[in-house]
Amino acid sequence: MNKLLPALVSLGIVSLLGTFLLTGPARQQLFSGRSDLGEAFSRRDVNQNATGKLGPGSRNLENSAANTVTSIVLDYRGFDTLGEVTVLFAAVAGAGLILFARRRREGAAAATMPSSLILKAASPWIFLFLFVTGFVIILHGHLTPGGGFPGGAMVAAGLVLLMASAGHKPSGKRIHAVEALAGFAFVAIGVAGVVLRGSFLAHFADMGALGDFLSAPVTILLYLVIGLKVSAEVTNAVSTLEHVEEDGGKEAP
Amino acid sequence: MTWLVLLVCLPIVVGAVAVVTLRDLLSAIVVEGVVSLATAILFVFLGALDVAITQAVVGCGLTTAVFLYAWRRIPEKAREVSHE
């Protein structure tokens, strides 16, 4: 049972992601490059502002992310977003610094309440849906509302739920590796812009057509990196919180 | 539209008052999550979909989870707030 459940959950993740990609609008995106959702969104958001001039499929744009908010956050104000990610990192690092002094020693028993049956039974399946939805939101950040920050938080919420139900601690090393690599990748993408186009975070790849799944490729990469970083950071923060030494309520409340 | 927004604002206001006045901390945490959810719905009506998603995930999900972790550390006696 202990090994069956993780296997089932990972199988479920793979099949759900596969269904998302191979049926309905997503299949269209993969095989014809056109996305219904992105098209509808660009029709609503862009056409209102530039009637008759721009629309789904427009090429050679300054930025072809159908979601205008994303095009501002990750392109025109991409450097601000790097600062925002750094602020999140500093906040988590600061909280970790305070809690680190009170961490529970390795092997010490956790004096927490046992998880209820409902939580134990339901959490793997809720985790599955949160995980898949989170990554779909991250990967569609340039087309539809959402993106790396809420998507990453959703993935982290799933991991926190799993942590609360099973009581296990996710591997700190792995979380730190994901976080560090994601932070490095953000800067690396920015530097690639300097090398190829002469300015930090410049769009160095082909923009593609407005509303396509593969439009604004640098924006997709940046949001993927941000999503991974946010999910790793939030999971790390909550897992530190979870593993603080019990004080037994000696201090007055 | 105005009535719809006002209808969504009602649970926000009632919930916000309830969070402050409730004696049981666990109930207060859950009501706080409901207030966040209503705020997210309000954002949807106002057309701010990006903000709505963030509000639903962070306000309703993660903040409630972090509060619950903190609640577990509070000794049993202190879980009920006495007003004065």
pLDDT at position A238, please? Answer: 85
Which stretches of chain A are DSSP H helices?
4-22, 24-32, 36-45, 68-71, 78-100, 117-139, 148-166, 172-197, 217-242
User: Where do the structural domains in chain B lie, given as residue ranges?
Assistant: 24-73
pLDDT at position A162, please? Answer: 84
Backbone Cα Rg of chain A = 21
The pLDDT of B1-18, averaged and rounded, is 90
Tokens matching residue B67 = 């509060």
pLDDT band at A251 (very low <50, low <70, confident <90, very high): very low
Tens digit of pLDDT for each residue in B10-69?
Answer: 999 999 999 999 888 899 999 999 999 999 999 988 888 888 998 999 888 889 888 888
Residue B82 burial (CB count, 10 A): 6
Inter-chain touch A241–B78, beta carbons under 8 Å: no
Q: Which residue among A112, A153, A164 sits closest to B57, beta carbon to beta carbon?
A: A153
Q: Which of B60, B29, B24, B78 is nearest to A154 (CA)?
A: B60
What is the value of pTM for the model shown?
Answer: 0.78
Residue A88 burial (CB count, 10 A): 18
Inter-chain touch B78–A161, beta carbons under 8 Å: no
Tens digit of pLDDT for each residue in A108-147?
Answer: 555 556 678 888 888 888 888 889 989 988 988 888 888 8
pLDDT at position A22, please? Answer: 60
Tens digit of pLDDT for each residue in A52-85?
Answer: 566 667 777 777 788 888 888 888 888 899 999 9
Tens digit of pLDDT for each residue in A41-57?
Answer: 666 666 555 555 666 67
pLDDT band at A231 (very low <50, low <70, confident <90, very high): very high
Inter-chain touch B58–A153, beta carbons under 8 Å: yes
Judge whether B66 is closer than 8 Å to chain A, CB to CB: yes
Q: Which of A174, A135, A182 is nearest to A154 (CA)?
A: A135
3-state SS assignment for residue A103: strand
Q: Report d(CA A186, CA A191) in Å as an integer.
A: 9
Inter-chain touch A149–B66, beta carbons under 8 Å: no
Residue B84, pLDDT > 80, answer no
For residues A250 and A148, the model is more confident at A148
Judge whether B81 is closer than 8 Å to chain A, CB to CB: no
Q: Give how far Cα B19 sits from Cα of A123, B22, B25, B79, B82, Å.
A: 27, 6, 9, 14, 14
> Percent of chain A at pLDDT above 70?
74
A84 Cβ partners below 8 Å, 6+ apart?
A: none
pLDDT at position A110, please? Answer: 54
Residue A90, pLDDT > 80, answer yes
A253 contacts B74 by C-beta, under 8 angstroms: yes
Inter-chain touch B53–A69, beta carbons under 8 Å: no
Residue A252, pLDDT > 50, answer no
pLDDT at position B49, please? Answer: 85
Tens digit of pLDDT for each residue in A167-215?
Answer: 666 777 888 899 999 999 999 999 998 889 888 888 888 888 877 788 8
**Chain B residues inside the 8 Å CB shell of A147:** 50
Mutate to test the interface with A, among B36, B44, B51, B57 (most CBs of A within 10 A): B57
Q: Report d(CA B25, CA B72) in Å as an integer.
A: 11
pLDDT at position A31, please? Answer: 55
* Per-residue DSSP letter, B74: S
Judge whether B69 is closer than 8 Å to chain A, CB to CB: yes
Look up the ipTM and state it.
0.81
